[in-house]
């Protein structure tokens, strides 16, 4: 008689609006190997926003998943999955783009570059929701500089010049990008390892990304398949290269034909077994959670929840 595997009790908190606990990357991935169950009193909690507070109501094993460029706070979490290159057994590098669809759609071989180019009606796209100086100055400045040479269609809520923002959702955004030759795929910051979905969205839309951000981006994607800001001596040289490709279809197609990945094979960060092995180490480890090792650690979430409820009454 086979003894049923004891369920692994997990929970999620501090994720973005619209996040669904039973329909997300981690839930589906973990279900493929482990007998997991959602629980109000979990043994493991996965949280994302370190500046939020719900994860602090837990004193179980806490796993931080970083979407932005925050480093793990090891006084708050036991394990972490982020974009950073950290030499720590408690950490797994998992850039956000690896959660963004399947890599198979990025493989080259069946597409028809000439047909893709013939369907394009615009020059370049730019999609941002805000243009505040603190995080977006680099991309905003470049948008204005390139726009002085040739119109760049801005379809986001910020700096919009097409009569209104494109509809919400990835489908509308990809359609917008697909109709243009280039996309300004600039990150919020230039940090080693910090690569979001921006360059992958451009690849999906079969347009040429103009990328600024992770200085090690060439290790993850084929540098011949996009224009990397850091490969040029200055912005003028990059702009001249964009305009050169725009005016010469043969040269543009040379870039468009290039595989997104080295050797046209997805990089290691897309390997689900790699992530599952990391979680297996977490689920089988016999370490005391950091929240319980504090000299003065938080009480259970239920006591805190009651206090919060009384305070709101």
Q: Using one digit for the tens of pLDDT, what is the confidence trace for 247-286? A: 999 999 999 999 999 999 999 999 999 999 999 999 999 8
pLDDT on residue 71 = 95
* Residue 150 CA neighbour count, 13 Å, CB half: 14
Q: Using one digit for the tens of pLDDT, what is the confidence trace for 244-255? A: 999 999 999 999
Yes or no: say if 131 and 140 are a contact pair by the CB < 8 Å rule.
Answer: yes
pLDDT on residue 287 = 82
pLDDT on residue 312 = 33
pTM for the model: 0.88
pLDDT on residue 193 = 96
pLDDT on residue 40 = 93
- Over the chain, what HEC string results? CCCCCCCEEEEEECCCCCCCCCCCHHHHHHHCCCCEEECCCCCEEEECCCCCCHHHHCCCEEEEECCCCCCCCCCCCCEEEECCCCCCCCEEECCHHHHCCCHHHHCCCCCCHHHHHHCCCEEEEECCCCCCHHHHHHHHHHHHHHHCCCCCEECCCCCCCCCCCCCCCHHHHHHHHHCEEEEEEECCCCCCCCCCCHHHHHHHCCCEEEEECCCCHHHCCCHHHCEEHHHCCCHHHHHHHHHHHHHCHHHHHHHHCCCCCHHHCCCHHHCHHHHHHHHHHHHHCCCCCHHHHCCCCCCCHHHHHHHHHHHHC
Yes or no: say if 49 and 14 are a contact pair by the CB < 8 Å rule.
Answer: yes
- What are the structural domains of the chain? 8-99+269-312 (3.40.50.11650), 108-264 (3.40.50.11660)
**pLDDT tens-digit profile, the chain (313 residues):** 444 578 999 999 999 999 999 999 999 999 999 999 999 999 999 999 988 889 999 999 999 999 999 999 999 999 999 999 999 999 999 999 999 878 998 998 767 999 999 999 999 999 998 877 666 789 999 999 999 999 999 999 999 999 999 998 889 999 999 999 999 999 989 999 999 999 999 999 999 999 999 999 999 999 999 999 999 999 999 999 999 999 999 999 999 999 999 999 999 999 999 999 999 999 999 889 998 876 544 444 444 443 333 333 3
């Amino acid at each position: 008689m086979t003894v049923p595997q004891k369920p692994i009790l997990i929970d999620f908190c501090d994720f973005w609006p619209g996040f669904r606990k039973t329909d997300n990357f981690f839930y589906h991935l973990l279900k493929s190997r482990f007998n997991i169950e959602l629980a109000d009193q979990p043994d493991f909690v996965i949280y994302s926003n370190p500046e939020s507070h719900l994860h602090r109501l837990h004193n179980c094993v806490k796993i931080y998943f970083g979407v932005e460029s925050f480093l793990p706070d090891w006084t708050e979490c036991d394990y972490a999955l982020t974009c950073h290159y950290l030499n720590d057994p408690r950490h797994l590098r998992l850039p956000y783009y690896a959660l963004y669809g399947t890599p198979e759609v990025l493989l080259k071989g069946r597409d028809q570059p000439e047909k893709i180019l013939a369907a394009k009606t615009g020059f370049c796209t730019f999609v941002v929701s805000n243009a505040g100086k603190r995080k977006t100055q680099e991309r905003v400045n470049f948008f204005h500089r390139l726009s002085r040479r040739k119109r760049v269609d801005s379809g986001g809520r910020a700096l919009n010049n097409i009569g209104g923002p494109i509809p919400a959702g990835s489908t509308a955004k990809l359609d917008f990008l697909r109709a243009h030759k280039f996309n300004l795929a600039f990150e919020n910051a230039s940090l080693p390892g910090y690569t979001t979905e921006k360059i992958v969205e451009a690849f999906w839309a079969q347009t040429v990304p103009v990328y600024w951000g992770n200085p090690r981006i060439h290790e993850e994607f084929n540098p011949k398949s996009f224009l990397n800001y850091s490969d040029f001596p200055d912005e003028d040289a990059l702009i001249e290269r964009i305009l050169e490709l725009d005016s010469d279809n043969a040269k543009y197609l040379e870039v468009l034909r290039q595989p997104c990945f080295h050797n046209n094979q997805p990089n290691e960060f897309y390997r689900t077994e790699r992530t599952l092995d990391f979680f297996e180490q977490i689920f089988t480890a016999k370490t005391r959670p950091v929240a319980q090792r504090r000299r003065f650690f938080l009480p259970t979430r239920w006591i805190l929840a009651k206090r919060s409820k009384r305070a709101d009454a």
